[in-house]
Amino acid sequence: MRVEHLFATFLLGPAVVGAFGCSVAGDVPAEGGAGAATGQGGTSGHGAGGTSPIGGAAQTGGAGGTGGTTSQAGSGSGAVGGSAGSAVTTAGAGGSGDGGRGDAGAGAAGAGGRRGAGGRGGDAAAGGARTSGGASNGGASNGGASNGGASSGGATSGAGAGGRSTSGAGGGGNGTCTASKAAGSNVSGSGPHKVTVETNSDAGIKEGTIFRPTDLGGTEKYPIFVWGEGGCSENGLSNSAAMAELASHGYFVIADGTPNNSASRSLDSSNVASMGKPLLAYVDWAVAENDKACSAYYQSLDTTKIASNGFSCGGLMAEGTAGAAGITTWGLNSSGLFSADQAFYKTVHTPVLIVLGGSDDIAYANGERDYDNISALGIPIMLFSKALGHGGDLFSKNGGDFTKIDLAWLNWWLKGDETATGKGLLVGASCPYCSDSAWEKKSANLP
C-alpha cells in the first residue's frame, strides 16, 4: 500500500483554516480638530500634504505647517510617525493623523480638537481596530494599534506615547480578553516549571489546547511552539507527555485540537500550506494576547521566537508553516512530504529538524527525501533516526528521546543554548546520539 494511502486511513473530517499574517492597512481615522495657525514641521517636515508610509487614508487635520513625508513627528507638529501609519491628508499642529507602531508625535503648539482614530495601522498580527484616541490639547493622545485588539484611548492633556499595546498617557486598556479555563489534565515534565493545561474559547485558539509554564509575568519570556497531532487528530491531549515536557522547560505550547476530541482534520499533501493554517492561527492569537494588558499572558511570551513541529500527519501541518515569515524554526517527527516538491522546498527559509523511527517507520522515506532536498538548498538541517517505528517513543515518559531531541533543538535555535541541553546534545563530543550506532544522524549547513 502506498504511503499516502496508509496516512489517509487515519484521517476524517474537513480541514479547518486559520490565519497568520500582518495587517498593514488601517481603518479611516476621524477628522482632526483645528490646529494652531502656525506650527512649523520639525526635522521630518510635517504639515499639509504630509504622508506616513502605510495605512488607510486619514481625514483633514488642523491648519498645518510645511509639507513633507512624515516618519517621526517634528517639533510643533501633531502628526504621528511610526513604522506604519495612515496617509495624513492635512496633518496640522495638534491635528489628526494615524499613529504607527512607534511612539506618538509630540505636538506642542495649538489646541487640537479630538484626535483621529488610531486605526489598525501597525504591523499587527491579528489585532482588531482601535476606536478613537482620547481628546488632546496639542500633541498626540494615542499611537496607532500595533498588535492590540479593539480599544479606546483615555483622555490626555499632553503628548501620549503610542506604540505596542499601550494607549496614550492616561489611556485605558487595549482590547478585550477571554479567560482561559483549566483543561482538567494534570501533567508534568522534567524541567523547572510546573505545567498548566488549559483551553480558551476565543477565536483563533478555540480549537487548540495550551500547555504552558504555570508561572507567568516574571522576567522569563517563553517562546511559542505549535504542534500538529498524529493522524491530524483534533485531540489536544494526544501527545500530552511530550507537550508537557516542552512546557516544563519554558515554552508556551499550543497543540492542535481540544482535549479528548474524537474528530480529525483532512490531509491534503498537495497543499501543506493550507494544512498549516490552523497552527499559524494559534501563533497569531498568542502574539496578540502577549500585547493585551488584560490577558493572563501579557508580556510573558517571546513573540520573536516561534517554532512548529508535529507527528505524522501533524508533521505535514508543521511543514505548512515553513514559508511563514514569523517562524524561527520547524521540524518533523515521523513525517515528510509524499513526493519531492521543489516549489515548496524553495519556501523554506529557517533551520529544520527531522526525527524518524528507522526504516520501518512509514514516513522514513518521506523524511529522508525532505532532508536531501532541503539540505541541497543550503538550509541548516539535522536528521536523527532510530529503529523505533512510527512515532518512535513520543508516547513514553516525558516524550522519550524524540522529545529530548526536539527540546534540545528548540533550546539551541530559540534560546541560544549551545550547552549539553541545547546544541551540545545534538552536535560534538557531548552528543550521546552521535556516538550511538543505533542512531542514524545527518546534518548539513550548520553554523
CATH number at residue 345: 3.40.50.1820
User: Is the pLDDT assigned to residue 18 strictly greater than 80?
Assistant: no
User: Which string of b and e fits 124-134 if b means at least 16 CB within 10 Å?
Assistant: bbbbbbbebbb
Nearest to 255 by CA among 285, 277, 235: 235
- The answer to whether residue 14 is domain-embedded is no
Last residue of a domain, one of 139, 174, 209: 174
Judgement on whether residues 240 and 328 belong to the same structural domain of the protein: yes
- The answer to whether residue 127 is domain-embedded is yes
Judgement on whether residues 231 and 95 belong to the same structural domain of the protein: no
Last residue of a domain, one of 151, 174, 197: 174
Q: What is the pLDDT of residue 175?
A: 80
Compute the average pLDDT of residues 392-413: 98
Confidence of residue 321 (pLDDT cuts 50, 70, 90): very high
Instruction: Assess contact for 394 and 402: CB atoms under 8 A.
Output: yes
Judgement on whether residues 396 and 299 belong to the same structural domain of the protein: yes
User: Is the pLDDT assigned to residue 405 strictly greater than 60?
Assistant: yes
Q: What is the pLDDT of residue 174?
A: 67
Judgement on whether residues 65 and 149 belong to the same structural domain of the protein: yes
> Which of 90-99, 180-189, 340-349 is the least confident region?
90-99
Confidence of residue 181 (pLDDT cuts 50, 70, 90): very high
| Rounded Cα gap, residues 418 and 425, in angstroms | 9
| Rounded Cα gap, residues 156 and 112, in angstroms | 12
- The answer to whether residue 375 is domain-embedded is yes
| Rounded Cα gap, residues 50 and 28, in angstroms | 16
Q: How many CA atoms lie within 13 A of 119 on its CB side?
A: 33
Last residue of a domain, one of 174, 203, 219: 174
Q: What percent of the chain has pLDDT over 70?
A: 61
Compute the average pLDDT of residues 280-293: 97
Per-chain mean pLDDT for the chain: 72
User: Is the pLDDT assigned to residue 425 strictly greater than 50?
Assistant: yes
Judgement on whether residues 125 and 36 belong to the same structural domain of the protein: yes
Q: Which residue has the higher pLDDT, 152 or 174?
A: 174
Confidence of residue 360 (pLDDT cuts 50, 70, 90): very high
List the grid coordinates of 37: 495657525
User: Is the pLDDT assigned to residue 14 strictly greater than 80?
Assistant: no
Total count of residues recorded for the chain: 447
Q: What is the residue range of 186's domain?
A: 178-444
Judgement on whether residues 253 and 385 belong to the same structural domain of the protein: yes
User: Is the pLDDT assigned to residue 351 strictly greater than 50?
Assistant: yes
| Rounded Cα gap, residues 373 and 369, in angstroms | 6
Confidence of residue 167 (pLDDT cuts 50, 70, 90): very low
Q: What is the pLDDT of residues 185-199, one digit of tens each?
A: 999 999 999 999 999
